[in-house]
Amino acid sequence: MPISAIRIGLVSIIAIVGGIGTPSTAQSRTEFSERGDSFARSCGDATAAQVRDVEQAIYCILYSKGVFDGALGGPVEACEPQGVRLGQKIDIGVQYIRSNPDKAHWPPSLLLLMGLRQAYPCPKAAK
C-alpha cells in the first residue's frame, strides 16, 4: 500500500474520531444514518470540490463505502460497469433520494442501493 494512501486513511480516522465527542455532530450523524432525506441533506455535497464541512464529508463517504461494500452479492443487485467511483455512487444515491420523496423516510442504506440498482440494472435472464 502506498504511503500516501496510508496517510490519507490515518487523517480520515483522526478527523472522524476527533469529532465523535461533540453532541451536535453525533446527533446529526445519527439522524442522517436513519433517514434518507437527512442523508441527502447532509451528504449531498460530500463529493463536491468545495465541501463546507470536511468532517461530515468524510463520515458520509465512509458510511456510503460501508453500505456499498457490505452489499456485494446481497439481495439488491446492481450491475454497475467497471470503474464506477464511490463519489459517483453517492451522487446516484442522493439523486435517487431526492427524486423519490415518498421513500425519503426510509433508511439511507437501502435508498443508496436502490439508486444504484436503478442506475445500473442487471440484464434479465433469457427464458
**Is 59 inside any structural domain?**
yes
Residue 76 counted as domain residue: yes
pLDDT at 24: 47
What's the pLDDT score for residue 104?
94
Count of the separate structural domains present in the chain: 1
In a domain, 127, yes or no: no
**E strand or H helix at 3, and its extent?**
helix 3-19
Owning domain of residue 70: 3-119
Residue 54 in domain: yes
Residue 104 maps to a domain = yes
Q: Exposed e or buried b for every residue in 92-113, given b needs 16+ CB within 10 A?
A: bbbebbeeeeeebebebbebbb
What is the pLDDT at residue 79? 87
Flag residues of the chain having pLDDT under 70.
1-32, 46-51, 75-76, 125-127
Question: How far, CA to CA in Å, does 54 sit from each of 9, 35, 60?
Answer: 14, 21, 10
Residue 68 is assigned to a structural domain of this protein: yes
Q: What is the Cα–Cα distance from 65 to 122, expressed in whole angstroms?
A: 21
- Residue 45 is predicted with a pLDDT of 72
Environment class of 84 (CB within 10 Å of its CB; exposed 0-12, middle 13-18, buried 19+): middle
125 in a structural domain: no
pLDDT value, residue 48: 67
pLDDT in the model for residue 60? 86
**Domain presence at residue 73:** yes
Q: Which of 108, 104, 125 has its CA nearest to residue 43?
A: 108
CA–CA separation, 119 and 91 (whole Å): 11
